[in-house]
Chains A and B, each alone.
Chain A
Amino acid sequence: MDVDVKIPAALAGECGGTRHLTVTLDDGDDLAALLDRIAADHPRLARRLRDEAGNVRRFVNVYIGDDECRRLQGTATPIGPGQAVQILPSIAGGA
Chain B
Amino acid sequence: MGYLVLIGTKKGLFTATSDDRRDWVLKGPHALDTDGFTAVAEIYAAACDPRTGQILVGAESPHFGPSVWRSNDLAATWHEPQAAPLAFPGDLPYRPLDFSEAPGTDQPDSERKNTVKRLWQLAFGPAEGLVWAGVEPTSLWRSDDGGRTFTFNHALWDHPDHETWGPGGGGAAVHTIVPDPDDPDTVTIAMSAGGIYQTRDGGHSWTGVTKGITVDYGPDPEPASGQCIHKVARDAGGTFFAQSHGPAYRSTDPAAGWTDISASLPSNFGFHITAHPTRPGTAMAYPVSDAMDRFPPDHRISAWRTDDAGDTWRRWGSGLPTEDYFGIVLRDAACHDGDADPAWYFGTRCGDVWAATDSGGQWHQVAAHLPDVLCVRAMNTAAMNTAAMNTTAVHTA
Q: Which A residues are within 8 Å of any B CB, using their own CB?
A: 9-14, 43-44, 47-49, 51-55, 57, 59-60, 89-90, 92-94
Contact residues, B11-62 vs A (CB, 8 A): 33-37, 40, 61-62
- Which of A10, A60, A92 has the most C-beta atoms of chain B within 10 angstroms of its own C-beta? A10
Q: Give the CA-CA distance A95 to B84 in the complex, in Å.
A: 27
Query: Which residues of B lie under 8 Å from residue A55 when comparing CB positions?
Result: 113, 115
Task: Kindly state the separation between the CA atoms of A82 and B84 in the bound complex, as whole angstroms.
Answer: 32
Give the interface SS of chain A, mostly helix, strand, loop or mixed: mixed
Residue contact A52 to B64, C-beta cutoff 8 Å: no
Please tell me which one of the listed residues B40, B67, B115 contacts residue A93 in the complex, with CB atoms under 8 A apart. Answer: B40
B34 with A51: CB separation less than 8 A: no
Question: In the assembly, what is the distance between CA of A10 and CA of B36, in Å?
Answer: 7
The verdict on B136 contacting chain A, using a C-beta distance below 8 Å, is no
- The listed residue (A52, A89, A90) touching B116 by CB distance below 8 A is A52
Main secondary structure of the interface of B (DSSP, over half): loop
Per a CB cutoff under 8 Å, which of B35, B36, B84 touches A52?
Answer: B84
Q: Are A47 and B62 in contact (CB under 8 A)?
A: no
The chain B residue with its CB closest to the CB of A53 is: B113
CA distance in complex: A13, B33 (Å):
9
Q: How long is the Cα–Cα vector from A63 to B380 in the complex, in angstroms?
A: 49
Q: Using Cβ atoms and an 8 Å threshold, which residues of chain B touch A9?
A: 35
A9 to B64, CA, bound (A): 13
A54 to B64, CA, bound (A): 13
- B129 touches A (CB below 8 Å): no
Interface residue count on the B side (C-beta < 8 Å): 26
Q: Is the CB of B80 within 8 A of A57?
A: no
Asked if A51 contacts B62 (CB within 8 A), the reply is no
- Whether A44 lies near B62 (C-beta < 8 A) is no
User: In the complex, what residues of B have CB within 8 A of residue A53's CB?
Assistant: 88, 90, 112-115
Cβ contacts under 8 Å, A60 to chain B: 63-64
> Are the CB atoms of A59 and B62 closer together than 8 Å?
yes
A76 and B37 CA atoms in complex are apart in Å by: 29
Across the interface, which residues of B come within 8 angstroms of A90, CB to CB? 63
Q: Write the nearest CB–CB distance from B172 to chain A, whole angstroms.
A: 17
A55 and B111 alpha carbons, distance in the complex (Å): 11
B84 near A92 with CB under 8 A, answer no
Chain A residues near B10: list those with CB within 8 A: 94
Which of A43, A49, A54, A89 is in CB contact (< 8 Å) with B83?
A43
B59 to chain A, nearest CB (A): 12
Check A59/B63 contact, CB under 8 A, given A10-B35, A52-B88, A52-B90. yes
Question: B359 at interface (Cβ–Cβ under 8 A)?
Answer: no
- Min Cβ gap A75→B in Å is 13
Q: Could you give 26 example pairs across A and B, Cβ below 8 Å?
A: A9-B35, A10-B36, A10-B64, A11-B35, A11-B64, A13-B34, A13-B35, A14-B34, A14-B35, A43-B83, A44-B83, A47-B65, A48-B65, A49-B64, A51-B65, A51-B115, A51-B116, A52-B84, A52-B113, A53-B113, A53-B114, A54-B113, A55-B113, A59-B63, A89-B64, A92-B63
Cα A33 to Cα B33 with chains together (Å): 26
Q: Is the CB of A47 within 8 A of B84?
A: yes
CA distance A89 to B83 in the complex (A): 21
Decide yes or no whether B87 CB sits under 8 A from chain A.
yes
- Shortest A21–chain B CB gap in Å is 15
- Complex contacts, A13 vs chain B, CB 8 Å: 33-35
Q: Closest chain A residue to B83 by CB distance? A: A43
**Contact of B113 with A92 in the complex, beta carbons under 8 Å:** no
Residues of B within 8 A of A59 (CB): 62-63
Write the nearest CB–CB distance from B98 to chain A, whole angstroms: 14
B82 at the interface (CB under 8 A from A): yes
CB-based nearest A residue for B88 = A52
Shortest distance between the CB of B351 and any CB in chain A (Å): 14
Asked whether, in the complex, the Cβ of B80 is within 8 Å of the Cβ of A44, the reply is yes
